Structure 1
């Protein structure tokens, strides 16, 4: 075996030794979590799904003791042994008792579920594809880990399992269960519980349609939309208005997503981090 194969064997063993699987709750994280849970002969009820606004790296996060499998949460300092699988820029080096599997810098981008298919070689390619398409759109189908999957079913399922996390109390665990319990995406889509995901998607769309009509405050180089919604609508609101108001930076500020906080999404423009910070302060949102 070469060094890469040895590293993946270490990651696989760390996954099996973990006290729990902690997946992110978007389509990529849930698909990665489903691959991990199936490899461990566990169900969706065994996964640790963190509440909104919490990460596994935060002090006091509601986590079990022992080593963990942290999937699609980034790579940051973790105060225990474990395996971390992710595709974003790592923010910390692993300790000796930790294994990191990262695809950061690979071209094309390899999302976490496709990375997990490397860690668990007998994982169903359609699960890797659900995560890849959830993150990359149709480009995800081009990854070798996703070869030969039924595209229409994967596309629909990726959109459905991504919907619950955008609601304050969406059926995230139901979405994970569909990925863990079925052998192909067509079967998963026939599960009666899909109705819960369809309803979550409709509820999110209704909320997006409401807040996207917010009138922006438009300046020379920036625009602000401020609204209150318990749903994760601000990223797409910012994206939608950035197309209409190019080349300005568009900030969508959501006062209702987390108690006591304003959550931002910024799209468009060419502001540097320092310029962006000044822009936020100028718009009266520094707090």
Structure 2
């Protein structure tokens, strides 16, 4: 076991000190919209509350993150003393939110780290702990968080599945209930995949629950809406997965239009059909004038290295993630350059209009 697991002790202690200081003021919590991000954010909120704070939560909108202008403006409007950012990847840009910042994350920092933030990252310390597991490890040293352990395993299964090698994860999963965790993860992920990007609905359900069974069995308000989102996302995945692939060498391209964030699920489905290929699922309809895309493979390929190795500039919101999952969002013309570099050529006519 890495002596610095799940993150260097100095980084964990710095994060704990940040939390204690943040609790004395007006903190803002900005979690990613997936289950790992939401679980991380809720662990932090509960910890801050136990320290006497009343944190405000801000959910980035569709295609947004903590570095986009609209999110920064929403943060500044709260006039916070501290900003806590969870599971949004790392960029070598200032958080620039008018307050001191903490970033807790597990993704590979391919473009550096925010220079104005306290950083707690598990990247590089095998097995890499997902963000909610790392957040729990930090927060449990600040307040009694034993009742929040279920949130850590929820985020772990959301990011790494039920067979993760995180020490203690399988035992905790068994204790909490694998069936309930799987169902809760599926329901909580549905709103951010839906075209409505209603992450607040998932947060509301998660915050009302005392365990994954509350969500899986519909014991808290709002689960019915999550179930509807899930059914609609499933139908959209089925539709988009019928796209005829374009195969060129090692690459299989699935190009389609959808307002929903179904491209990761479409890519995962097609890796079973092309187990040795790099599957690129490209969604021309998620954001106006842009292509949101993901790379997945069942083969042991470092997808992040492959993407950056194409030699195509990846500005802004592309080329993050990790070796097994990467992608991003690019203007249509820049994405077409990426396809050409990958030997695929252009996507089918009509998608880019």
Instruction: Tell me the TM-score normalised to structure 2 length.
Output: 0.72
Structure 1 residues 60, 8: CA separation in 2 closer, same or farther (over 3 Å shift)?
closer
Structure 1 residues 232, 30: CA separation in 2 closer, same or farther (over 3 Å shift)?
same
Q: Are residue 248 (structure 1) and residue 277 (structure 2) matched?
A: yes
The 2-side partners of 1:14 and 1:83 are apart by 11
The 1-side partners of 2:264 and 2:346 are apart by 20
Which of 64, 69, 77 is the aligned partner of 2:75?
64
Q: Quote the RMSD (CA, aligned, Å).
A: 2.9
- 1:46-195 equivalences under 5 Å are 46-61=56-71, 62-65=73-76, 66=80, 67-76=82-91, 77=93, 78-79=95-96, 80-90=99-109, 91-93=111-113, 95=115, 98-121=117-140, 122-123=144-145, 124-140=148-164, 142-144=166-168, 147=172, 148-189=175-216, 190-195=219-224
The 2-side partners of 1:45 and 1:9 are apart by 16
Q: Are residue 284 (structure 1) and residue 343 (structure 2) matched?
A: no
The 2-side partners of 1:87 and 1:18 are apart by 26
The 2-side partners of 1:150 and 1:44 are apart by 31
Which residue in 1 is equivalent to 2:329? none
Instruction: State the Cα deviation string for residues 168-192 of structure 1 (Å, max 9, x = none).
Output: 2143212112222222222344124
Which residue in 2 is equivalent to 1:274? 309
Consecutive unaligned residues in structure 1, runs of 5 or more? none
Deviation of the 1:52 alpha carbon? 1.1
Structure 1 residues 240, 182: CA separation in 2 closer, same or farther (over 3 Å shift)?
closer
Structure 1 residues 218, 126: CA separation in 2 closer, same or farther (over 3 Å shift)?
same
Deviation of the 1:266 alpha carbon? 2.4
CA contact (8 A) 1:227 1:254 kept: yes
Instruction: Tell me the TM-score normalised to structure 1 length.
Output: 0.86
- For 2:162, what is the secondary structure of its paired residue? helix
The 1-side partners of 2:63 and 2:103 are apart by 19
Consecutive unaligned residues in structure 2, runs of 5 or more? 1-8, 313-336
CA contact (8 A) 2:40 2:135 kept: yes
Deviation of the 1:18 alpha carbon? 5.2
Deviation of the 1:63 alpha carbon? 2.8
Q: Are residue 34 (structure 1) and residue 42 (structure 2) matched?
A: yes
Structure 1 residues 161, 45: CA separation in 2 closer, same or farther (over 3 Å shift)?
farther
- For 1:64, what is the secondary structure of its paired residue? helix
- Which one has a larger percent helix, Structure 1 or Structure 2? 1
CA contact (8 A) 2:286 2:292 kept: yes
Structure 1 residues 187, 240: CA separation in 2 closer, same or farther (over 3 Å shift)?
closer
- For 2:281, what is the secondary structure of its paired residue? strand
- For 1:241, what is the secondary structure of its paired residue? helix
Which residue in 1 is equivalent to 2:244? 215
Instruction: State the Cα deviation string for residues 123-173 of structure 1 (Å, max 9, x = none).
Output: 311011111110001034854377342332222111211111001214321
